[in-house]
Amino acid sequence: MSEPGLEYGYCQKYNKKIPLDENTVCVHPHEYCRFRPSCLIHELGKQNRLRQRQQKEKIGGTLYAIGVGPGDPRMITLQAIDRLRSLEMVFASKKEGVSESIAYTIAEKYLPASSQVQFLEFKATYDRDEFDAIWAENAKKVFEVLKTGQDCGYITLGDPSLYSTFSHLLRNLTKLSPGVRVEIIPGVTMVTAASNLLNVPLAIDGESLTLIPSAQIDEAQLRPLIRHSDNLVFMKIPSDAQMLIKNLEEEGLLHRAIWVQKCCLPDQRVMKELDKKTLEEDQERYLSMMIVKKEGMS
Ligand SMILES: C[S@@+](CC[C@H](N)C(=O)[O-])C[C@H]1O[C@@H](n2cnc3c(N)ncnc32)[C@H](O)[C@@H]1O
Ligand code: SF4
């Protein structure tokens, strides 16, 4: 028992002192308790649950994360198109120093003429705190719109669940508002678009497949991944890809690698039977990935 105005209440059933605040709930709300009718903790818990539900309901807008596929206009889903047609406000990320947002270019033609776009800038930094701070700011911008009750979209290349900035946005948005409503619309990934373009099955039978964010791992991490997987997909290839090239060559796999650049875009490029010299001379790495299949391909 406790008196109104006190900082703590006392659970008589479990003999516990419980802080009284906006998070207070009954110690065991689903169990029978003979003290319940007169228990302040239980009463406060009911009020807290009601307030949290009302807060959730107040967040009127839904955020739609829309995967727009790899860039070929025929590879966007009907669900994505339907949703884009309904949105008056969309967000898209834009890397610092890059003038275009390919994802927005794909989506633009489906949006109502009256719709607005806001680009969320980010910096490709390995400083985790700096990166989180950028996405915390971006999440605030999206939350400002959702708070008004307006639905909005977040457009992302490929699929929202694969190395997408959407994950950073969602993590921060959930911190701001745990009850935020989100719907995710899947897209064709770069990985499947490239493998199908090349007629290369990503994995068959008992084979394993490993996706490697090349720019974000070091040599010690890379070696075992290369050795122990049957199929490898290298994404996020850094401008200085020396370490990657060296390791593939040392493992006798470089000649098996297929390099795909700007897949599904008008200036798509495919390079096969790679060697070190060609890759060292050809420094064009923007929107590139590599597929290496150890078996089954000549
Ligand atoms: C941030 S990830 C985005 C992946 C995307 N969400 C998906 O579902 O495929 C970006 C990486 O995907 C690859 N990528 C993106 N667009 C590409 C393209 N058109 N051609 C080849 N690789 C591409 C590159 O490796 C790039 O570094
Ligand atoms: S209602 Fe809950 S908080 Fe109150 S005495 Fe019973 S178990 Fe404890």
In the prediction, which pLDDT does 241 show?
86
* 136 in contact with ligand 2, CB cutoff 6 A: no
CATH superfamily of domain region 191-293: Tetrapyrrole methylase, C-terminal domain (3.30.950.10)
**Is the domain covering 62-188 a CATH 3.40.1010.10 domain?**
yes
Model confidence at 39: pLDDT above 60 = yes
Model confidence at 180: pLDDT above 70 = yes
- Residue 68 and residue 51: Cα distance in Å, rounded? 37
Separation of CA 175 and ligand 2 centre (Å): 30
Question: In a mutational test of the pocket of ligand 1, which residue from 68, 235, 288 has the highest number of ligand atoms less than 8 Å from its CB?
Answer: 235
- Residue 2 and residue 42: Cα distance in Å, rounded? 11
**Phi and psi of 64, rounded to 5°?**
-105, 115
* 260 in contact with ligand 1, CB cutoff 6 A: yes
Residue (of 65, 50, 32) closest to 174 by Cα position: 65
Average pLDDT in the chain: 90
Average pLDDT over residues 108-122: 94
In the prediction, which pLDDT does 58 show?
62
The answer to whether 209 touches 230, Cβ cutoff 8 Å, is yes
Separation of CA 31 and ligand 2 centre (Å): 9
Model confidence at 66, in pLDDT bands (50, 70, 90)?
Answer: very high
Model confidence at 3: pLDDT above 60 = no
Look at ligand 1, atom 25, and give the residue with the nearest C-alpha. Answer: 235
Confidence (pTM): 0.78
- Residue 48 and residue 42: Cα distance in Å, rounded? 10
- Residue 215 and residue 297: Cα distance in Å, rounded? 26
In the prediction, which pLDDT does 59 show?
61
Model confidence at 298: pLDDT above 50 = no
The mean-pLDDT minimum among 2-11, 156-165, 198-207, 261-270 falls in 2-11
In the prediction, which pLDDT does 91 show?
97
Which ligand 2 atom sits closest to the C-alpha of 14? 8
Model confidence at 296, in pLDDT bands (50, 70, 90)?
Answer: low
Model confidence at 233: pLDDT above 80 = yes
In order, the DSSP letters of 46-88 are: HHHHHHHHHHHHH---EEEEEE-BSS-GGGS-HHHHHHHHT-S
Separation of CA 23 and ligand 2 centre (Å): 15
Look at ligand 1, atom 12, and give the residue with the nearest C-alpha. Answer: 235
CB atoms within 10 A of CB 68: 31
Model confidence at 225: pLDDT above 50 = yes
Which ligand 2 atom sits closest to the C-alpha of 16? 8
Model confidence at 57, in pLDDT bands (50, 70, 90)?
Answer: low
Residue type, 287: L
Which ligand 2 atom sits closest to the C-alpha of 33? 6
Which-ligand-closest: CA of 35?
2
Average pLDDT over residues 264-271: 92
CB atoms within 10 A of CB 237: 21
Look at ligand 2, atom 3, and give the residue with the nearest C-alpha. Answer: 26
Identity of the highest mean pLDDT range in 99-103, 167-171, 241-245, 282-286: 167-171
Which ligand 1 atom sits closest to the C-alpha of 193? 9
For the chain, give every domain's residue range: 8-58, 62-188, 191-293
Average pLDDT over residues 34-41: 94
Separation of CA 54 and ligand 2 centre (Å): 24
DSSP 124: -
In the prediction, which pLDDT does 126 show?
79
Write out the H or E segment, with its range, that includes residue 7. Answer: none
The answer to whether 287 touches 259, Cβ cutoff 8 Å, is no
Separation of CA 13 and ligand 1 centre (Å): 57
Q: At what angle do helices 242-250 and 219-228 cross, to 10 degrees?
A: 40
